[in-house]
Structure 1
Amino acid sequence: HDAKFDFEDCNRQRFGCVVGTSKGGFQSFKKSAQQFANHPANHPDKSFPLAGLEEFPANRASVEVATTLNLQGAVLCPVAACATGLVSLMQGANLIANGYCDTVLAGSSDASLQEILLGSYNRMGVLAKNFENPQTACKPFDKTRNGFLVGEGAAMFLLEEAAFAEARGATPYAEWVTGHLATDISGLTSLEEDATSLTWLIQNCLQQAKMSPSEIDYINLHGTATRLNDIYETNALKKACGRTIYDIPCSSFKGALGHLLGAAGSVETAFSLLAMRDNIIPPTLNLTTPDPQCDLNYTPHIASSQTVNSLLKLSFGFGGHLAAAVLRAV
């Protein structure tokens, strides 16, 4: 609706769909598993209900969207843990840049408020602890931070060649300049002490964009409020951008939204584009006690007015997925 796109007047063979998620349909799988366990007489051959298996695969969302809208171009479902959302946008942009599609519906969704998933994250030690008010539990870059809260959400973007947007009189939110990927192979939740991989990623992404750090007006951080992540991200930015980083306003949305996991990258990019539209630097909520090891301008508590013509978006995922993208106002 926001893109004012007429689906009845498009080349469906050149219209792609990229919908990522960090996992399959756990809720549907859970319902089928409960039915199987509670009513064994309905399954004399002890076979699992087929409906549960059909709803569970990670690509279910992308196939469902493509089928509903009759999109007959490439259909993809990236899975890159908590970096999935940004990777999905990157894959959508690449489909257009490489000539496979003229238009792509791209984004991600995630619904992870399930007992089995919350239990897993708790065992991993990444969830916020010992809090009274969930609104203030997630504290990115705060000295007292101890983890995140899980949220749910989704965001979708209509990506198209500039010529197509111009021809139909559309007003784009931004230009996708470039995106790049890397991996930190330290482990599931471990991170390099020297942040070499992330430093290289940021530098390479800016190099591909043919931009210097001083040309970036805003950085939307991954900022999970875990002890290691926030220091890791801070150190990588300082190494990649030098002293210039102290002049670039940054922020993390997770104090406000929670961690949307597979949807984080797409939803946070959407809010970042709204910030670009409105020339606002969004705040990092719950940053009350500064951490000496996290000393950048995280825009604590209160948004500020500033022209935003370009932004750098960072997303990371469990297991070492690293993604970065540069977007520019048009």
Structure 2
Amino acid sequence: MATLEIKEVAKRYGDRTVLHDINLTLASGEFLSLLGPSGCGKTTLLRIIAGFEHPDGGQVRVDGQDITALPANRRQMGMVFQAYSLFPNMTAEENVRFGLRVRKVDAAEQSRRVLELLELVGLANHAAKYPHQLSGGQQQRVALARALAIRPSLLLLDEPLSALDAKVRVQLREEIRRIQRETGITTVFVTHDQEEALSISDRVAVMYEGRMVQVGAPAAIYQEPTHPFVAQFIGISSRLPARVVDADQGVITVLDRALHTPRARGLQPDVALHLYLRPEGVQLQAVNGKDPQSAVLQGTVRESTFFGAVTRLRVELDGGQGVLADLSTHEALQLPIGIRVHVSWQPDAMRLLPAELPI
């Protein structure tokens, strides 16, 4: 259960900078996900933590000790890769035992530890099987047990679920979280899948073009994005052009309609913004001649997508912009395609962010 500090870590390949002065601190026993699209630098950062890559600047510290120059084989870290990377000529038991044998751990302790870990990952009855006799999910469990066998100070996982089918991914991510909680090991998990990151992490670090643009608890990342990329990348949002009219009074315009919101206070007036709306907070009401006070905009229902208990409606606003609304299926049935609707939203469903994507 080690702490991890990343201080001003930078990495360049030729004239291309892939990591820009990254700062991050993990508490002992914390589970943190590095989340972002392909090419954002998350795997490069993980490889620097592991010692497979050397930074061009900055430090990596574990429990306060600078390990930046320490080779990977002396860092006492467990690594699980996207590819299972098991030895094909070894059984599950032999794969898990391998690191202990290399470290010349006592044979009795090896056997005890291997059995303990195979039971932990639910594979005690598959110890004698070779990798080709195991499913993809089982192979990844063996890889996880092998990484944990040496009692690492940190567990590093590089998109370990991306090669699995959807159902197995959900099962295994829950298993990874359970095992992490039982062992208490400090963990860094790399993924491009926002659902994975939000569902199992203590905190999520969102990366964009080599920068860490927001770090926080999953609920905060989803509900209060502080960067336009986070608002677009995490979850589903509708985006509308907006402009501050009176920051003191909290007045903005959205498609030429005035709206009072405390979120506008303190913002620069006359600056182009985007208003982001979560679909679960959007409210629709059929136009019946009476304009409700809460209504901000009007539009026409153009699409309906059934998800079971929830149905998502796409509304084309007057002016051509689109808004998504997630309603109970019962409510949505009252608003067929083609009907005119008033559009409003709950205050906590909206976020105002700069129209220009800051770097």
Structure with the bigger RCO (C-alpha within 8 Å, sep 6+) is 1
TMscore range, shorter length: under 0.3
Q: TM-score, normalised by structure 2?
A: 0.23
- Considering fraction of residues, name the structure with more helix: 1
- Considering fraction of residues, name the structure with more strand: 2
Q: TM-score, normalised by structure 1?
A: 0.25
